[in-house]
């Protein structure tokens, strides 16, 4: 088996490598050129033959996570028995590159808010598919030419319902970003990624990690026991409300963290003076939805149904075939308007969602259909202690 180097041709010249972009736990990434389509691509090669099963799982997992804010995979193949997959090349580099270039100071907070809003949408989408990333960090947040952020590198991502293929990995992640339950080998949940997003926010805001030392075992211990440091100790002058956001995201107990990545990102955005807070428990509710909210000719979801059982509410519906996205919102009193009390964003082909943390008593849900370049159509209902069609 020959080593990969500059000028290596794959698939009879379909791709030609140019230079190595980076090296990770499972493989290395090369910049390559596709002469037929005249475009650059990124190709990730596996360098650990014992991890081939996990590598193939990663390729399939990312390929099936079709989301606007997740780096797209074009194909999976092998070169002289060395597996690789071809991805979109992100010309803007990573947020880690931006931090390194900043030289120990944080990035502009307006940029951070925008980056995390996009990444949080990708994370929540992955979570809706029962996938936990487990290695979220600035190095895995990539930028395109237009400064838009994308989530990448699902190399150690875990399907909540399925064990790792080989069973060789018991604790996975980067120590500086690992949640306490990862350190202790406990149950991994979407809140594990919320913790890492909180650590990433801390680093992006200050230019420093919250916990760092030459002894990486000591770093792990700090994640389990030490309180979240004050942002002001690293970056005086940041808006004071950011501290509470980071502390909640990095709570030691998963149940005390944000229920979704989007809620964290919205609260951070609000703390910088932009959007209203994104907490899952709304402090105010919107007026009932009326016809003017809907664009003429926009179809609604149909057959909306809810069933409350065992402390959860299961929603099912039917949506038109050309819907781009489904947005679910909720409140305690009135049907919420678009984005008010939003709890989930799903691809248009989805037809069900489980609210694992519903309000006690009556809960009003709104299910919105979003079309590319158009307004929303919607249907809503109130959910009591019985089934409601």
Work out the angle at residue 47's Cα, subtended by the Cα atoms of residues 193 and 185, and round it to the nearest 5 degrees: 35
Q: Which ranges of 207-311 does DSSP label H, i.e. alpha helix?
A: 216-225, 241-249, 261-271
135 is catalytic: yes
231 vs 210: CA distance, rounded Å: 9
The kind and range of the H/E element at 45 are: strand 39-46
Full DSSP string of 133-169:
-S--SGGGEEE-TT--EEE---TT-EETTS--SSS--
Q: Contact, 132 vs 192, CB < 8 A? A: yes
For tokens 């299961």, the residue is: 314
Alpha-carbon dihedral angle through residues 109, 346, 250, 59, given to the nearest 10 degrees? -90
C-alpha dihedral (235, 255, 275, 130), degrees to nearest 10: 110
Choosing from 34, 121, 124, 135, which is the catalytic residue? 135
Take residue 380 and report the two structure tokens written for it. 């809503």
Place of tokens 């691509």: 41
End-to-end CA distance of the chain: 61
Contact 257, 191 (CB under 8 A): yes
Active site residues: 135
């Amino acid at each position: 088996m020959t080593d990969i180097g500059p000028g290596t041709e794959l698939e009879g010249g379909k791709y030609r490598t140019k230079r190595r972009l980076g090296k990770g736990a499972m493989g290395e990434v090369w910049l390559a050129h596709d002469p037929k389509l005249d475009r650059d691509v990124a190709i990730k090669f596996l360098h650990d033959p014992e991890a081939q099963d996990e590598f193939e799982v990663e390729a399939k997992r990312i390929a099936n996570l079709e989301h606007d804010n997740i780096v797209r995979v074009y194909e999976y193949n092998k070169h002289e028995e060395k597996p690789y997959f071809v991805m979109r090349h992100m010309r803007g580099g990573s947020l880690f590159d931006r931090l390194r270039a900043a030289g120990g100071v944080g990035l502009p907070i307006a940029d951070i808010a925008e980056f995390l809003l996009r990444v949080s949408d990708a994370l929540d989408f992955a979570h809706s598919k029962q996938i936990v990333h487990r290695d979220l960090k600035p190095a895995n947040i990539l930028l395109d030419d237009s400064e838009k952020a994308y989530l990448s590198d699902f190399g150690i991502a875990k399907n909540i319902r399925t064990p790792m293929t080989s069973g060789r990995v018991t604790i996975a992640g980067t120590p500086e970003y690992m949640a306490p339950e990862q350190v202790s080998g406990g149950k991994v949940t979407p809140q594990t990624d919320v913790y890492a997003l909180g650590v990433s926010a801390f680093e992006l805001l200050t230019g420093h990690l919250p916990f760092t030392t030459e002894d990486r075992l000591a770093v792990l211990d700090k994640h389990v026991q030490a309180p979240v440091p004050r942002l002001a100790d690293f970056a005086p002058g940041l808006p004071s409300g950011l501290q509470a956001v980071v502390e909640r995201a990095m709570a030691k107990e998963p149940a005390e963290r944000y229920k979704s990545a989007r809620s964290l990102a919205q609260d951070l955005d609000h703390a910088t003076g932009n959007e209203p807070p994104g907490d899952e428990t709304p402090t105010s509710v919107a007026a009932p939805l009326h016809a003017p909210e809907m664009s003429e000719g926009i179809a609604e979801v149909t057959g909306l149904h809810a069933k409350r059982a065992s402390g959860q509410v299961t929603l099912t519906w039917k949506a038109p075939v050309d819907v781009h996205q489904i947005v679910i919102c909720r409140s305690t009193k009135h049907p919420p308007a678009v984005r008010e009390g939003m709890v989930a964003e799903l691809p248009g082909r989805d037809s069900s969602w489980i609210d694992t943390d519903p309000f006690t008593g009556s809960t009003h849900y709104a299910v919105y259909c979003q079309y590319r370049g158009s307004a929303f159509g919607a249907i809503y209902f109130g959910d009591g202690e019985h089934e409601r069609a």
